A and B are shown apart, each in its own frame.
Chain A
Amino acid sequence: MKRKVFALLLSCALLFGVTACSDDAGGSSGGSGGSAGRIVVMAGSTSVQPFAEVLAAEHERGGGSLVDVHGGGSGQGIASIRNGNADIGMSSRALRGDELELSFVTIARDGLALIVHPSNPIAGLSIEDIRAIYKREITDWGELGGTPGNIHVVTREEGSGTRGAFEEMVMRETQRSTVKHDVPVPPCEDCELCNTCSNSENERTIVFEREVSTITDHPIHARTIVLNTNGAIRQFVAGNPNAIGYISLGTVVICGLSPVKQLGVGGVSPFFRAVSERGIELFDESCSGSECCPAYEFNPAYSLSRPFVFIVGEEPTPEALAFIGYVLSDTGQNLLESHGLIKRSERDARGDSFVWEGV
């Protein structure tokens, strides 16, 4: 009896071994994608992930190679390119520091929404208020004019691109001030190449004003709750009247799920007020379910937006480049726009670190 079981297991193991050896093995692009070439492995931002999946499905339908999309956060996306674990890394924030040495393209822009529970009466907050909340300088909704209660603050994990974008746009404080210098003015006989000179004894110094910005990166307070994905934050805020969090704009309105309410930031709401077929205004908390799905338009004046970035390694596979080509093409860009993203602009293209040449 034991022999038979052993033989069965052994043959199964051999079967696997045979399948393995017959394929193109090794590394991150293990497994063949059939006739269309090797599978493209993508990893990174959970904000970009749903859009990458949509693009992948369309690309596949059009005869392109298969694409596997993993999550893990923008940090993991960047790390997996450095480690060679993935073909394309996804980031939902602009790259910075030594990440700029990698090859990347911006594929679209996405908004960042601040969300609260639908029962929260507050309609909008200034950036300073949001910053104060995340620094735990304001801890009660009552201080902001809402119903009194502890504010339960939620953030993404440190490696998240959404968090990085939030930290850049909200937690970073840029203070402009003018600094006055006293600049000495030499007498004209000593002055051959100088711009300003004066022979009058009263004008020995002039006051020179200069604009200086001081940038302070305020850290998010340590006692903030940390959740791993857009969906998790959304789920938490939808169930907790005291919560506040930030998610990708595309995740705010998902039909069929408990609604969340997005705040205006600095007086500007990300959406135009929209009306569904039933004539219900957006974010009516008594309405949930797919019949409440409203049509909405993005407000281009909304200030919190961040780039979605695709990163590749030193020697990207032709399948990966073909996929990126699809994403950057008109078809791909229109697809992204129809799903709620902002198309990539000239300015974004100028920021890319490599020029994608058509295939």
Chain B
Amino acid sequence: MAKFKEKLSGRIFFTLALTSITALAIITLFIFREGVPMLGSVLGSTWAPSRGEFGIIPMVAGTVSVTLGAALIGVPIGICCAIFMAELAPERMRNMFRPAIQLLAGIPSVVYGFWGMMFVVPFIRNYLGGPGLSIVAGSVVLSLMMLPTIISISEVSVLALPRTYKEGALALGMTHWQTIRSVQLPAAKSGIVAAVILGMGRAVGETMAVIMVLGNAVAFPTSVLDPVRTLTTNIGIEMGYATGEHRQALFATGIVLFVIIMALNITAQNLTRKKIKK
């Protein structure tokens, strides 16, 4: 009886384990089946569904600019906080900081978007110009959302370094800051880069946070103060009423998103794997 249970349980576990593959297969199948027919048309530079034009280049520009802007703001801040947690903070501060970062990660993206809409957008409009709904607004909001990813993975990378790196540098007479800057950060580089890439992957996939602050104009942006639309917000806005080719174009956008994020994730994984092998 025990043997039968043994075999059965093994089989059950195996079947359950197949779900993630099955789910992924179904999702990929659907999205590709709906989207592939329109993949070619989607490479144009004008998005005007009522005229049959489904070019997503302006949206790609939107995603790229908003994500890069977010990284520009988020990476320095994130690395600073990671160093803070790993090296500079006393135990008590660390125990306070860590839950704070977790809370930052847990706040729903709509709340971030709302905060952006209420504070960041008017600020930009009054002090930087333009309508306020802009790439800059999106980048600010997304940078806050990228932070927990960047901070936690970078911190882990720095903490994972052998103690000898730091002790050796200090023994040689370097100051703490010199040790951090010239020894620890370069050594943890691949982990930090992986953290940034994963953070960017998260930013690329965000919809609700940015749909309220970007302005959603379909034109290719010419300045960071221009309203813009990302691949994700395009899907979000038009999904409800799109039919036929329009809907397929949105699925094609989904494919493009899928591919971008997979590429980012695989790159990040390879970077961490290389580090472990070393």
Contact = CB atoms under 8 A, between A and B. Distances in A.
Interface of A: 72-79, 82-83, 150, 152, 157-159, 219, 221-228, 236, 239-240, 242-243
A242 B125 CA distance: 10
Given A82-B243, A223-B227, 11 more contacts: A75-B240, A75-B241, A83-B243, A157-B216, A158-B50, A158-B241, A159-B241, A222-B217, A225-B216, A225-B217, A226-B217
Contacts of B47: 222
Interface string B126-137: 000011110000
B48 to A, nearest CB: 7
B53 to A, nearest CB: 11
Contacts, number: 68
B12 interface: no
Contacts of A75: 240-242
B237 A76 contact: no
30 contacts: A72-B241, A73-B241, A75-B240, A75-B242, A79-B241, A79-B243, A83-B243, A152-B130, A157-B238, A158-B238, A159-B242, A219-B48, A222-B47, A222-B58, A222-B217, A222-B219, A223-B217, A223-B219, A224-B217, A225-B131, A225-B133, A225-B216, A225-B227, A226-B217, A226-B229, A226-B237, A236-B133, A240-B125, A242-B131, A243-B131
Contacts of B132: 240
Interface string B182-225: 00000000000000000000000000000000011111000000
Interface string B29-69: 00000000000000000111111000000100000000000
Contacts of A83: 243
B238 A159 contact: yes
A176 to B, nearest CB: 25
B241 A225 contact: no
Contact of A152 (B51, B131, B229, B238): B131
B226 A226 contact: no
Indicate the size class of the contact surface on chain B. Answer: 20 to 34
Contact of B242 (A79, A219, A222, A236): A79
A78 B241 CA distance: 8
Contacts of B242: 75, 79, 159
B122 interface: yes
Contacts of B219: 221-223
A79 B217 contact: no
A217 to B, nearest CB: 9
Contacts of B131: 152, 225, 240, 242-243
Contacts of A76: 240-241
Nearest to B133: A225
A188 B219 CA distance: 63
Contacts of A74: 241
A71 to B, nearest CB: 9
Interface of B: 46-51, 58, 122, 125, 130-133, 215-219, 226-227, 229, 237-238, 240-243
A263 B126 CA distance: 25
Contacts of B122: 239
Nearest to A151: B131
A226 B238 CA distance: 11
A76 B237 CA distance: 11
Q: Which of B132, B217, B229 has the most CB of A within 10 A?
A: B217
B136 to A, nearest CB: 15
Contacts of A219: 48, 51
Nearest to A157: B237
Given A223-B226, A240-B132, A228 B125 contact: no
A74 B240 CA distance: 10
A157 to B, nearest CB: 5
Contacts of A157: 216, 237-238
A274 B133 CA distance: 34
Given A158-B49, A243-B131, A72 B217 contact: no
A222 B238 contact: no
B241 A227 contact: no
A134 to B, nearest CB: 13
A243 B130 CA distance: 11
A226 B241 contact: no
Contacts of A73: 240-241
A70 to B, nearest CB: 9
A77 B243 CA distance: 12
B215 A226 contact: yes
Contacts of B51: 219
Contacts of B50: 158
A190 B144 CA distance: 87
Contacts of B216: 157, 225-227
Contacts of A158: 49-50, 238, 241
Contact of B218 (A79, A152, A226, A236): A226
A28 to B, nearest CB: 14
A229 B101 CA distance: 34
B164 to A, nearest CB: 42
Contacts of A77: 241
Nearest to A243: B131
A91 to B, nearest CB: 11
